[in-house]
Structure 1
Amino acid sequence: MGKNVIVVGGGIVGLCSAYYLLKEGHQVTVIDKSDITAGASFVNAGYITPSHIIPLAAPGMIVKGMKWMFSPTSPFYMKPRWDVDFFKWAWYFHKSSTPAKVAKAIPVIKDINLMSHRLYTDILQSGDLGDFQWERKGLLMLYQTDAEEQHEMPVAEKAKALALEVDFLDQDQLRTIEPDVAIKAKAAIHYKCDGHTTPTEVMPRLKQYLTDAGVDLRTNEAVLDFTINQGTVKEVITSKGTYACDEVVIATGSWSEGLAKKLNIKLPIQAGKGYRIDVARPTGISMPAILMEAKVAVTPMNGFTRFAGTMEFSGINDTIRAARVTAIAKAVAEFYPDIKITAREMAAAKSGLRPVSPDGLPYIGKSKKYTNLTFATGHAMMGWSLGPATGKLVAQLISDKIPVLDLTPFSPDRKF
């Protein structure tokens, strides 16, 4: 028998949760404080990345963050500020950044990414969203220095050991695979296991499909509180009304920590801001790539090329820092000397907030505190990649099925 499920949050994770809950026969309402036309689910690099096996909370990242703290153009930027929640998160991040914990996370990240990779293919083949871009050309890791080569090679070897497809390309091979654009790079690692999409194409189609299929999509409506009775969430209270529910899914990205507090649950999350510049003119780029020294992602999307990057911890805000946009444009020119991003293209840059957990793993699963509350958040840079897998796992949980993956590593109740 289907349940009455409230999904709070209309990003890729929330909509994928609604998609699979609908497939399981549940009555679904999605509530989002925005009109679901902007944010991280629209401005991301569109990658589906089994190759991204190393969590953000890796050894040395806190040291890098401290080093870069006073450089507003650095790839990993933490704005100096007095914020108790941020201090706690940073301490948990530091505790998670050990070789042993990273090694334990690697197969977990790989498995859920491969699951999502298969599900994107299934969604395309189902015809539910029509014919959308889903290309499996892989991902180039372009580097210019010996230091970055030495940094990425162990990752590539780990990926190969996990049976992921990896190639090593010299400059001649790079020109063969990407012939229509000049690239200034020493060499590249080609993760052939990866794929990419156009988020601004997928999100509207997913919204439309859900609406047409009977999901109640409530936009521009903020969730304010919850009615609790004997360990069960009975109602979701919003700025426009009150909704009774059998189950609740919290998929509100960077805002999840605040909602969790209303339920007396500690869910450490920090907003990691990313930026994107879209170039609608021809660039000659046909392969997705990461410019390693600058940590800038490059994606050939339907109708434009997207350049995205930076991880900025400055709290929840939508401020566009011009210096960070300029840094992306500068990196593009350094790697693609024939491509110059214009002032107008930079002025149209957008940002989005990615929810980052302290250990780099998302929160997926039920809280022990409530019988009918499920979290689906904290995906950091992999929200787009892991949207379908997360939605499928959420639907299996709520349908009282055994999830196809062990959710223990993703528990919202885990200790740091």
Structure 2
Amino acid sequence: MKEVVVIGGGIIGLCSAYYLQKEGHKVTVIDQSSMDFGASYVNAGYLTPSHIIPLAAPGVMKKGIQWMFNSASPLYIKPRFNTEFLKWSWAFNKSCSSENVARSISAIKDINLLSRDLYSEIKKQEQFKFHLERKGLLMLCQTDSMLEEEIRVGEIAKKEGLPVKSLSLSELKQIEPNVQLQAKGAILYECDGHTTPHLFMEEIKEFLLNKGVVFSKNEKITDLTIDNGKITAIKSTTTTYSADEFVLAAGSWSKVLSKKLGIKLLLEAGKGYRINSDRDLGITMPTILAEAKVAVTPMQGFTRFAGTMEIAGINHNINKVRVEAIANAAHKYYPDITLTDDEKNDAASGLRPVSPDGMAYIGKSRKCKNLTIGTGHAMMGWSMGPATGKLISEIISDKKPSLNLDVFNPDRRF
């Protein structure tokens, strides 16, 4: 049995704590927030083996530069004269290659499939009640060019063994009969699932507390004591913590802490937004509005519209232009749906940690023997949460990891 401190109380940190306590370890979770908001609560709730293409793919940087002057664009990279941001941008540009996509596809698929199944396993094993469905995911397209692009991605997914269908507008209407659609057609990924995130987060927090996991909320880590390549203690604003092992799962803030250890994690915060509507809108299928890059999820008791990737530093400021872009996209694809001012004014944001190649950092760095890292998941943190937690627990418990972690190596070069 080891004493383990998990830094970060989001989906990655809590899933790490879940699997670590299953192995008999004594676990403390430290978070600088009240652990009831942020990316783990405002995401689209997707479990997406279908998302096999990493964020860093051919043409993305070119689009990012084109969109740089449009604050309503799906991907907005705010230019900044900051050394770390410039290093990240250079590495991101280098990673936007077919080679990066080719080496990432199988790894992304495998960790997503494992994670999707672990959500079901957790629910069954612990008799959780959180909302979990596997209805698939629609990629809804309004233009022939986007439909062709999504068909190409679907063919790659088929080669990876994932079940994929192309749907005409008439076939779409059979799946979504209660809502008007403005589209040419869609791709259906039958392998995907969806959840209502806050329900899972509330349930797993209660479960962990009942199992003796200690939560230290509103505790900001201010310093780390290192001796002979190992962390011996970490200090917060009020307390000093010691442990045998430490987990760094602090999302977009992981870069700040890793720097104190001499680990150069290239990481930028990618802000996403969500708008909730508790009206009955008639939408029953999780759907990505392909051209707009907006996710639509029928959750338990409401429908969520989520999207945008805003790389503009660490902040939770609400950019109303980007909220309006999500609302406009919803109306464009579903002409009979107009989100209200109250719904838009209630919008929230969350920060997703984005690595330059779009792949997570999972594993140990050679620079610190008793630190295991789990961050950098970009838009797939929710989808990959349980699998990442299980892998971190296996590493700390000296077990062979369930997946090959080479592609997720925190020390990889860009």
Give the shorter-chain TM-score range: over 0.9
Which residue of the partner structure matches residue 410 of structure 1? Answer: 408
Select the residue among 221, 232, 235 that pairs with 1:234: 232
Give the Å deviation of 1:150: 2.0
2:286 & 2:98 partners in 1: Cα distance?
A: 29
Give the Å deviation of 1:413: 0.6
Which residue of the partner structure matches residue 398 of structure 2? Answer: 400
1:23-42 map, 5 Å: 23-42=22-41
Which residue of the partner structure matches residue 19 of structure 1? Answer: 18
2:196 & 2:156 partners in 1: Cα distance?
A: 28
Which residue of the partner structure matches residue 147 of structure 1? Answer: 145
TM-score normalised by L of structure 2: 0.99
Select the residue among 262, 265, 268 that pairs with 1:267: 265
Conservation of the 8 A alpha-carbon contact between 2:56 and 2:100: no
Give the Å deviation of 1:56: 0.1
2:240 & 2:323 partners in 1: Cα distance?
A: 41
Select the residue among 201, 204, 222 that pairs with 1:203: 201
Deviation per CA, 1:140-184: give whole Å up to 9, x if none: 000000121122111100001111011111111101111111111
1:342 & 1:81 partners in 2: Cα distance?
A: 34
TM-score normalised by L of structure 1: 0.99
Which residue of the partner structure matches residue 183 of structure 2? Answer: 185
1:18 & 1:380 partners in 2: Cα distance?
A: 21
Give the Å deviation of 1:263: 0.8
Is 1:306 the counterpart of 2:304 in the alignment? yes
Give the match's secondary structure for 1:91: helix
Which residue of the partner structure matches residue 172 of structure 2? Answer: 174
Conservation of the 8 A alpha-carbon contact between 2:395 and 2:401: yes
Give the match's secondary structure for 1:340: coil
1:243 & 1:100 partners in 2: Cα distance?
A: 42
2:55 & 2:99 partners in 1: Cα distance?
A: 14
- Structure 1: 4+ residue segments shifted above 6 A: none
Is 1:220 the counterpart of 2:218 in the alignment? yes
1:186 & 1:149 partners in 2: Cα distance?
A: 8
Deviation per CA, 1:68-89: give whole Å up to 9, x if none: 0010100000112222111100
1:178 & 1:387 partners in 2: Cα distance?
A: 29
Conservation of the 8 A alpha-carbon contact between 2:50 and 2:192: yes
1:142 & 1:229 partners in 2: Cα distance?
A: 54
Which residue of the partner structure matches residue 123 of structure 1? Answer: 122
Give the match's secondary structure for 1:21: helix
Amino acid at match of 2:351: L
Which residue of the partner structure matches residue 73 of structure 2? Answer: 74
Amino acid at match of 1:73: A
Amino acid at match of 1:353: L
Amino acid at match of 1:297: A
Select the residue among 271, 276, 279 that pairs with 1:278: 276
2:111 & 2:187 partners in 1: Cα distance?
A: 22
Amino acid at match of 2:133: E
Amino acid at match of 1:59: P
Conservation of the 8 A alpha-carbon contact between 2:8 and 2:30: yes
Is 1:7 the counterpart of 2:10 in the alignment? no
1:357 & 1:370 partners in 2: Cα distance?
A: 20
Give the Å deviation of 1:404: 1.1
Conservation of the 8 A alpha-carbon contact between 2:362 and 2:409: yes
Is 1:334 the counterpart of 2:367 in the alignment? no
1:227 & 1:315 partners in 2: Cα distance?
A: 27
1:276 & 1:206 partners in 2: Cα distance?
A: 22
Deviation per CA, 1:378-404: give whole Å up to 9, x if none: 000000000000000000000000101
1:80 & 1:183 partners in 2: Cα distance?
A: 36
Two-structure CA RMSD over aligned residues (Å): 0.7
Which residue of the partner structure matches residue 375 of structure 1? Answer: 373
Is 1:48 the counterpart of 2:47 in the alignment? yes
1:294 & 1:97 partners in 2: Cα distance?
A: 20
Which residue of the partner structure matches residue 57 of structure 1? Answer: 56
1:59 & 1:168 partners in 2: Cα distance?
A: 24
Give the Å deviation of 1:101: 1.8
Give the match's secondary structure for 2:265: coil
1:200 & 1:112 partners in 2: Cα distance?
A: 22
Amino acid at match of 1:232: K
Conservation of the 8 A alpha-carbon contact between 2:261 and 2:368: no
1:127 & 1:88 partners in 2: Cα distance?
A: 44
1:182 & 1:201 partners in 2: Cα distance?
A: 29
2:293 & 2:278 partners in 1: Cα distance?
A: 22
Aligned length: 414
1:151 & 1:188 partners in 2: Cα distance?
A: 11
Give the Å deviation of 1:132: 1.3
Amino acid at match of 2:224: F
Amino acid at match of 1:387: G
2:135 & 2:374 partners in 1: Cα distance?
A: 29
2:71 & 2:93 partners in 1: Cα distance?
A: 22
Amino acid at match of 2:174: T
Amino acid at match of 1:56: L
Gaps of 5+ in 2: none
Give the match's secondary structure for 2:295: strand
1:205 & 1:132 partners in 2: Cα distance?
A: 7
2:230 & 2:82 partners in 1: Cα distance?
A: 31
